[in-house]
Amino acid sequence: MNVLFSAAEMTPFAKAGGLADVIGSLPKALRRIGVDARVVMPLHGFIQRGRYNIAYAFHYQFGRRRGVADIYVHHTESDGVPVYFLESYPFFGQGWQLYTDTEWDKQRFIAFSEFTLALAWQLAQREGWKLDVLHVHDWHTALGSFLVAYSRFDSFWQPVGTVLTIHNMGYQGDWAGAALFDAGIPTRTQPDLLYHGKDGNLLAIAIAYSDMITAVSPRYAEEIQYPRFGEGLEALVRWRAHGGDVMGILNGLDMERNDPATDPALLHPFSVQNLAPRPLNKTALQAQLGLPQRADVPFIGAVTRLTAQKGFDLAIPALYQLLAEDDVQVVVLGSGESHLEDGLRTLEYTYGNRMRAVIGYDAVLSQRIYAASDLFLMPSRYEPCGTSQMIAMRYGALPVVRETGGLADTVQNYDNKDADVGTGFVFLWETPEAVLGTLRWALETYRNRSEAFRRMQLRAMQTDFSWNKSAAEYVRVYERAFSRHRSG
Ligand code: ADP
């Protein structure tokens, strides 16, 4: 089966969040089980072509409503996965940002979706590679499903299945009606979209038109069918779910890139078999951050985007209280909304010998935090899947999380006894008190039930977060999407 992934980001070329990690690891896992998965993404201006052996491959033209676009295709292989980068002036090829102004991004990604279909056709002509399924991701590339549906009169597109994966319902590409109109794309014809007033919403269009829809965890696939997490599209999702077309498939983790035994970022590698060096990572990080070097002090880490989604408005007041009353060390690495960045800076200013707020993006430091922390804080208001908690568990840091989305699916709560089950500490309420109370409970366990804590740590590190199971589930989704147009 030939599957073309269409996405805005992919690790290691361009990453803003978990989406890039999925595109960087799922196609690789699919290829291992016999799917010919390939990726098409924009040639963002900042992508280092030399570093990744990205070479110019060919050029084609595509007739848009307003003139002809020239598209230059560049190519490389990433861990055996063929990746095509599209460059086309003025949309892609320049600029230092992954995402720009929202209006311009809508125009750019509408064009990208058109170019993607044209690329699929080019690949069939030039390389004899004919796609069976187009797999689009999030709002950026979502329009592809609609464009395929509208091209089915053509024998090339008639049998092609489409799959949409929703990585985050919080970003939809809404109010794209004018840009779609400008591009000459007639989405106004779909009655359900019209009924819900979503005919200009790129993600909604894909929910209506994709053969199959997946969300990145089973819990999130449920949550988005209701108003709290559906972000206005819940009725559309529920309609598709009633037809049996919505599935939750948990993201896997790239177990090779995230391995504490081989991670080049770590000064003291360790594994389940050889856990002894793990505390050295704590003292090394304390030294790096200028905190007192003490192996005995409980160390709480967080690595996060600082947006409302991630719940740090709840965590900051909880940390104030905790740092005032308890002997702990805390480090938060993150960037985002300025009021949260400032809140964390003030926290560091107040508790300078116990708290560090590192504002920015630092891939090496993030891995060191996972390896050094006893507890990993992730109080997300919503979390489609979440990668950080899985990395934390693999590195032996027990997550303290809110019970939502993928956090609910991946973190097993402590049983409050000998830890015969459990890989972390889970709370439900979206309040600072819940964060504080759960941190206290986790710290109490760390100090007074160290044997139970150790058992959880080992269980967390041994949990299989690989793509094996999920990749097989995606194959079943592809088969369903694909068979839909074969049988008819
Ligand atoms: P999201 O995709 O919503 O940001 P995830 O938990 O799925 O959340 O993925 C976050 C990924 O980005 C993790 O690999 C995490 O380590 C990384 N990350 C987030 N913020 C930072 C940061 N400030 N510095 C380094 N890595 C970060």
- Encode pLDDT of 144-185 as tens digits: 999 999 999 999 999 999 999 999 999 999 999 999 999 999
Task: Count other Cβ atoms within 10 Å, centred on residue 46.
Answer: 12
Distance 363 CA to ligand 1 centre (A): 9
Instruction: Specify whether 318 is located in the same domain as 376.
Output: yes
Residue 351 lies in a domain: yes
Q: Are the beta carbons of 377 and 310 closer than 8 angstroms?
A: no
Residue-level pLDDT at 486? 79
Going by their DSSP bridges, the two strands 67-78 and 81-87 should be labelled as antiparallel
Q: Which residue range forms the structural domain that includes residue 198?
A: 2-252+468-483
- Encode pLDDT of 205-218 as tens digits: 999 999 999 999 99
- Encode pLDDT of 326-382 as tens digits: 999 999 999 999 999 999 999 999 999 999 999 999 999 999 999 999 999 999 999
- Is residue 488 pLDDT above 80, yes or no? no
Residue nearest to atom 12 of ligand 1 (CA): 17
What CATH number did the domain enclosing 310 receive? 3.40.50.2000
Residue 370 lies in a domain: yes
CB-count burial class (<10 Å; 0-12, 13-18, 19+) for 68: exposed
Residue-level pLDDT at 102? 94
Which atom of ligand 1 is least distant from the CA of 370?
A: 16
Which atom of ligand 1 is least distant from the CA of 406?
A: 7
Q: What are phi and psi of 266, to 5 degrees?
A: -90, 135
Residue 133 lies in a domain: yes
Instruction: Specify whether 379 is located in the same domain as 327.
Output: yes
Which atom of ligand 1 is least distant from the CA of 367?
A: 16
Which tokens sit at 268? 């003291």
Distance 295 CA to ligand 1 centre (A): 26
- Encode pLDDT of 292-333 as tens digits: 999 999 999 999 999 999 999 999 999 999 999 999 999 999
Residue 329 lies in a domain: yes
Instruction: Specify whether 478 is located in the same domain as 388.
Output: no
CA dihedral 417, 421, 423, 427 (to 10 degrees): -70
Q: Are the beta carbons of 393 and 407 closer than 8 angstroms?
A: no
Task: Count other Cβ atoms within 10 Å, centred on residue 55.
Answer: 11
User: Does 258 contact ligand 1 (Cβ within 6 A)?
Assistant: no
- Is residue 66 pLDDT above 90, yes or no? no
Q: Which long-range contacts (CB under 8 A, 24 or more apart) does 285-289 make?
A: 285/331, 285/368, 285/369, 285/371, 285/372, 286/329, 286/372, 288/368, 289/331, 289/356, 289/358
- Encode pLDDT of 243-301 as tens digits: 999 999 999 998 988 999 999 999 999 999 999 999 999 999 999 999 999 999 999 99
Q: Are the beta carbons of 139 and 9 closer than 8 angstroms?
A: no
User: Does 388 contact ligand 1 (Cβ within 6 A)?
Assistant: yes
Instruction: Specify whether 454 is located in the same domain as 475.
Output: no
Peptide bond into 42 cis (omega under 30): no
Distance 292 CA to ligand 1 centre (A): 27
Residue-level pLDDT at 199? 92
Instruction: Specify whether 67 is located in the same domain as 124.
Output: yes
Instruction: Look at residues 123, 193, 136, 130 and name the one whose alpha carbon lies nearest to residue 162.
Output: 136
Instruction: Specify whether 458 is located in the same domain as 479.
Output: no
Distance 388 CA to ligand 1 centre (A): 6
Q: How would DSSP label each residue in 262-300?
A: T-TT-SS---SS--TTHHHHHHHHHHHHT----SSS-EE
Residue 319 lies in a domain: yes
Residue-level pLDDT at 487? 56
Instruction: Look at residues 86, 129, 132 and name the one whose alpha carbon lies nearest to residue 109.
Output: 86
Mean pLDDT of 388-400: 98
User: Does 24 contact ligand 1 (Cβ within 6 A)?
Assistant: no
Instruction: Specify whether 333 is located in the same domain as 234.
Output: no
- The answer to whether the Cα torsion of 27, 48, 389, 169 is positive or negative is negative
Instruction: Specify whether 479 is located in the same domain as 426.
Output: no
Distance between CA 112 and CA 257 in Å, rounded? Answer: 29
Mean pLDDT of 94-120: 96
User: Does 405 contact ligand 1 (Cβ within 6 A)?
Assistant: no
Distance between CA 372 and CA 2 in Å, rounded? Answer: 42
Instruction: Specify whether 360 is located in the same domain as 451.
Output: yes
The alpha carbon of residue 168 and the mean position of all alpha carbons in its chain are separated, in whole angstroms, by 8
Q: Are the beta carbons of 134 and 451 closer than 8 angstroms?
A: no
Which atom of ligand 1 is least distant from the CA of 366?
A: 25
Instruction: Specify whether 73 is located in the same domain as 213.
Output: yes
Give the total number of structural domains in the chain: 2
Residue nearest to atom 9 of ligand 1 (CA): 18
Distance 187 CA to ligand 1 centre (A): 34
Which atom of ligand 1 is least distant from the CA of 18?
A: 2
Could you give the residue ranges of the DSSP H alpha helices within 42-171? 102-127, 138-149
Residue 204 belongs to what H/E stretch? helix 202-209
Which tokens sit at 408? 């609910």
What are the Cα distances from residue 87, in Å, to 54, 84, 201? Answer: 12, 10, 25
Distance 348 CA to ligand 1 centre (A): 21
Residue nearest to atom 24 of ligand 1 (CA): 361
Residue 12 lies in a domain: yes
Instruction: Specify whether 364 is located in the same domain as 479.
Output: no
Share of the chain above pLDDT 70, in %: 99
Instruction: Specify whether 218 is located in the same domain as 365.
Output: no
Which atom of ligand 1 is least distant from the CA of 168?
A: 3
Mean pLDDT of 441-464: 97
Residue 270 lies in a domain: no
Distance between CA 410 and CA 392 in Å, rounded? Answer: 11
The alpha carbon of residue 409 and the mean position of all alpha carbons in its chain are separated, in whole angstroms, by 15
- Encode pLDDT of 8-65 as tens digits: 999 999 998 889 999 999 999 999 999 999 999 999 999 999 999 999 999 999 999 9
Ligand 1: which of 303, 367, 391 to mutate, most ligand atoms within 8 Å of CB? 303
Ligand 1: which of 387, 409, 465 to mutate, most ligand atoms within 8 Å of CB? 387
In sequence order, the 6+-apart residues with CB closer than 8 A to the CB of 95 are 44, 45, 46
Distance 305 CA to ligand 1 centre (A): 6
Residue 22 lies in a domain: yes
User: Does 366 contact ligand 1 (Cβ within 6 A)?
Assistant: yes
Which atom of ligand 1 is least distant from the CA of 378?
A: 6
Q: Are the beta carbons of 173 and 205 closer than 8 angstroms?
A: no
- Is residue 187 pLDDT above 80, yes or no? no
Under the banding of pLDDT at 50, 70 and 90, the label for residue 189 is confident
Q: Are the beta carbons of 396 and 278 closer than 8 angstroms?
A: yes
User: Does 399 contact ligand 1 (Cβ within 6 A)?
Assistant: no
